[in-house]
Amino acid sequence: MTDTPKDLTDHLKARILANGPLTIADYMSECLLHPTLGYYTTRDPLGASGDFTTAPEISQMFGELIGLCLAQTWLDHGAPAPFALTELGPGRGTLMADILRATASVPGFHAAARIHLIEASDTLRTAQAEALDGHKIDWHYQLSTLPEIPLLLVANEFFDALPIRQFLRDEGNAWRERRVGLVDGKLAFGAGDPAEVPALSGRLAETKQGQLIEICAAAEAIASEIGAHISDHGGAALIIDYGDWASYGDTFQAVKSHKKTSPLTTPGQADLTAHVDFAALANAVQGAASCAATAMIPQGVFLERLGITHRAQQLAQALSGAALENHIAAHRRLTHPDEMGNLFKILALYDGRFSPPPGLQT
């Protein structure tokens, strides 16, 4: 194994030969964020010519409504100034650009906003700088370097990229961890020896032998940090992603050129994700004195409550032909239960001394 490997598959095989099979989390981290060969570090994966398309890339309406939701939350929380307008994993910067355009006319909002982006990829940092030209931006690798001021945060399709571990329920109270090893010289899934895992004792009652569960320590740690920041300094966070309340079964997947592929065939060349366990995120803020979690609701319901159909009709008036067709399709894609409307969910973490963000009140 050399310090600067040329090929990610060779590097992974060398690691496995040297230290044994990798946890799914180690495999995911290497594939997505290896400093020179990782998926996110070497490319802009978004859009029609890339591997996948996200809500802000589908239509400007998504970012506009998120922007108005954040601005109303800011007003409801007493219009603190300054505050950290923060995004986790901002991709091409499209969502933040739409948020800023939609909130330009909210008196005092831009003057109070300090823009902070948490982004691991230098390639995507460059794209973000271009999309947000004219705005002062601070980039971070983690939340801990954010200034100690109120936080208004958004994370769209960020948590699904964080490394998960998978455990198969075995006999009794034991679990076997799913790993990536080598079979006949090729990367292959396998499972470790059965062992009791204290961190999973809470999942024993709800699982049976043969069932698989996933845990994402990084997601829980980040949610807990957001909770502590909100508890200490105020604010709110909107978390949007695919997933559900608790996680059951294998949701580890790879997508390349808009098609599903095996997570093991093209390491570093395909997007790797897992469904987000929203219950784990909500539970992670329980220790934060004044940070509350809303109920999780489907993206389609959230966007309808924020008035997406009205906004779609407004924008449609200036459109005709193919542009109008595309616009109608984008509205459907974001909201319809057969498209992203139901698969994607939203949960907010917020300063419980104030009301929850609009669209998330129960």
Alpha carbons 29 and 81: distance in angstroms, whole number: 37
Tokens of 29: 């981290």
On the CB side of 156, CA atoms within 13 Å amount to: 21
Q: Residue 44 has what DSSP assignment?
A: -
Q: By CB under 6 A, tell whether 158 contacts ligand SAH.
A: yes
Backbone angles phi, psi at 139, to 5 degrees: -100, 150
Q: By CB under 6 A, tell whether 60 contacts ligand SAH.
A: no
**N residues, the chain:** 362
Output the smallest distance, CB 127 to ligand SAH, in A.
9
Binding pattern for the stretch 103-142 against ligand SAH, x by CB under 6 A and - elsewhere: ---------------xxxx--x------------------
Q: By CB under 6 A, tell whether 270 contacts ligand SAH.
A: no
77 touches 351 (CB < 8 A): yes
Among 56, 63, 67, 263, binds ligand SAH (CB under 6 A): 56
With CB under 6 A, what is the number of residues at the site for ligand SAH? 18
Q: By CB under 6 A, tell whether 156 contacts ligand SAH.
A: yes
Tokens of 122: 């230098």
Q: By CB under 6 A, tell whether 278 contacts ligand SAH.
A: no
Tokens of 111: 């003057």
Q: By CB under 6 A, tell whether 57 contacts ligand SAH.
A: yes
User: Between 212 and 216, whose beta carbon lies closer to ligand SAH?
Assistant: 216
User: Between 12 and 155, whose beta carbon lies closer to ligand SAH?
Assistant: 155
Binding pattern for the stretch 160-199 against ligand SAH, x by CB under 6 A and - elsewhere: -x--------------------------------------
Number of H helices, E strands in the chain: 14, 17
Q: By CB under 6 A, tell whether 96 contacts ligand SAH.
A: no
Three-state secondary structure call for residue 98:
helix
* φ/ψ bin of 118: left (φ > 0), alpha (ψ from -120 to 50), beta (otherwise): beta
Output the smallest distance, CB 239 to ligand SAH, in A.
11
Torsion 98-102-108-109 (CA) sign: negative
Location of structure tokens 């973000």 = 128
150 touches 226 (CB < 8 A): no
Output the smallest distance, CB 108 to ligand SAH, in A.
26
Q: By CB under 6 A, tell whether 98 contacts ligand SAH.
A: no
Alpha carbons 92 and 63: distance in angstroms, whole number: 13
User: Between 292 and 330, whose beta carbon lies closer to ligand SAH?
Assistant: 330
Q: Residue 138 has what DSSP assignment?
A: E
Output the smallest distance, CB 19 to ligand SAH, in A.
22
On the CB side of 222, CA atoms within 13 Å amount to: 24
Q: By CB under 6 A, tell whether 299 contacts ligand SAH.
A: no
Q: By CB under 6 A, tell whether 272 contacts ligand SAH.
A: no
Binding positions for ligand SAH, rule: CB under 6 A? 40, 46, 54, 56-57, 89-91, 95, 118-121, 124, 156-158, 161
